[in-house]
Structure 1
Amino acid sequence: MYLFDWLDHIDKIVFTFIHRDMSVRWLDVIMLLLRNQYTWIPVYAFILYWTLRLDRPTGLKFICLTIVCFAITDYTSASILKIHFERLRPCFDDDLTGVIRGIIGCGGKYSFPSSHAANHFGLSTFWFFTILHVTKQKWYWLWIWACMIGLAQVYVGKHFPLDIVGGAALGILTGLSLFKLFEGWVKRDYNKYLKNPSLSLP
């Protein structure tokens, strides 16, 4: 129990540093934009554009598993783990009454793990390894994108740092699992083609 108390104490110290001590008015605006879902519409549009340039079977697999990835991370984090752990958000924590700056609404009562972090790290992981598998290109900016959103969640006071770590772990595990599913799916279809060349190549 002492270990969890120590981790909670360190987590609140880091949260206070990021949320209060790092705060600058112009940075408030940027961080609020970073965590806003509408800010990233161009990213999703670009991914869709990239997908449409793939052959149809591969593109459909990519889109299907992208949706599954988001569904798993969002439901697991919001409807299972948050209820199980019942960790209060910073704005509901009595220890942080004098720390919270109130630059955004509090939202739901529980915060662990961060659904934002789970969703974006899940997508980043699945996209990174799938794109690497398909094109041999390494889109490192996907990791930066997910990290920026995670940091913004702490900065605006929505989550503790460990909420982000927990969400990222869930997202990475989910993204890797679905990439392996994608890899196996493509390999299975290719093997079918080798056995029967009259079939269209997947």
Structure 2
Amino acid sequence: MEDIKQLDWDLMLLLNDWGNDTVDLIFNIITYKFYAIPLYLYLFYVLFKKLNKKELIIALITIALLVAISDQVAMLFKNTWVQRLRPFREPALEGLISKVGKSGGTYGFYSGHASNAMALAVFMWHMLKQSHKTTGILLFIWAVLVAYSRVYLGVHYPGDVLMGMFMGTVIGWLCYRLFAFAKAKYAPASSSSTAL
């Protein structure tokens, strides 16, 4: 366990804040959820064009559930079950970690940002892989950038974001299965609109 912890610390020191003010700004934009609103609006538009009304309602409810589950499970891990100090709060790393991003609290395992982004990417991949494969691939790149931004900004260890991405993958897949089940049950005879 100590070897894993040391590896996490070593990677943190390597990957944290290597850039300049411009790079800091870019990663702060990537990490801040409200800057992703244009992306969310685009995804809504794609779903609006792809799905009929019932399917769209089911998809939006499922996405809301996905975000809620991802957030709450991450909070349970962070604040109740694990309580691992964020890198910039770790006394042994004082003066070695550069914190250039806002932090949501004392504890950091695991990253809710990484989990949310990956859960959305996995869910949307399954929704769009037939008609919008490029969008799906770009969503995975976005999710990885969001995850890495947390390390760069000094608020999460690499292990925090890897666990967040793993949990997001599981949650995204389960929520897609839930969507497929609800669609079959409540919109069985529907025919989706043609893709863009």
CA shift digits 1:154-174 (9 cap, x unpaired):
001010000001111111101
1:106 Cα shift? 4.0
Determine which of 73, 77, 88 is the counterpart of 1:76.
73
Determine which of 132, 141, 145 is the counterpart of 1:137.
132
Determine which of 99, 104, 121 is the counterpart of 2:101.
104
Question: Is 1:130–1:182's contact at 8 Å kept on the other side of the alignment?
Answer: no
What TM-score, normalized by structure 1, do the two folds share?
0.86
Whichever residue aligns with residue 175 of structure 1, its letter is G
Percent identity of paired positions between Structure 1 and Structure 2: 24
Report whether the alignment pairs 1:149 with 2:158: no
Match runs of 1:37-48 below 5 Å: 37-48=33-44
d(CA) in 2 for partners of 1:171, 1:129: 14
The size of the alignment, in residue pairs, is 188
Q: CA RMSD in A?
A: 1.7
Whichever residue aligns with residue 125 of structure 1, its letter is V
Report whether the alignment pairs 1:174 with 2:171: yes
Gaps of 5+ in 2: none
Question: Is 1:19–1:156's contact at 8 Å kept on the other side of the alignment?
Answer: yes
SS in 1 for 2:118: helix
Return the index of the structure with the highest Cα Rg: 1
Determine which of 182, 185, 192 is the counterpart of 2:182.
185
SS in 2 for 1:140: helix
Whichever residue aligns with residue 57 of structure 1, its letter is K
Question: Is 1:91–1:106's contact at 8 Å kept on the other side of the alignment?
Answer: no
SS in 1 for 2:140: helix
Quote the residue 2:26 is aligned against.
30
Report whether the alignment pairs 1:61 with 2:58: yes
Question: Is 2:99–2:155's contact at 8 Å kept on the other side of the alignment?
Answer: no
Report whether the alignment pairs 1:13 with 2:48: no
SS in 1 for 2:155: coil
1:130 Cα shift? 1.8
d(CA) in 1 for partners of 2:168, 2:159: 14
SS in 2 for 1:102: coil
Quote the residue 2:47 is aligned against.
51
d(CA) in 1 for partners of 2:56, 2:151: 35
Greater than 4 Å deviation, 4+ residue runs: none
Greater Cα shift, 178-187 or 35-44: 178-187
d(CA) in 2 for partners of 1:76, 1:34: 22
By relative contact order (CA 8 Å, sep 6+), the higher-ranking structure is 2
1:104 Cα shift? 3.0
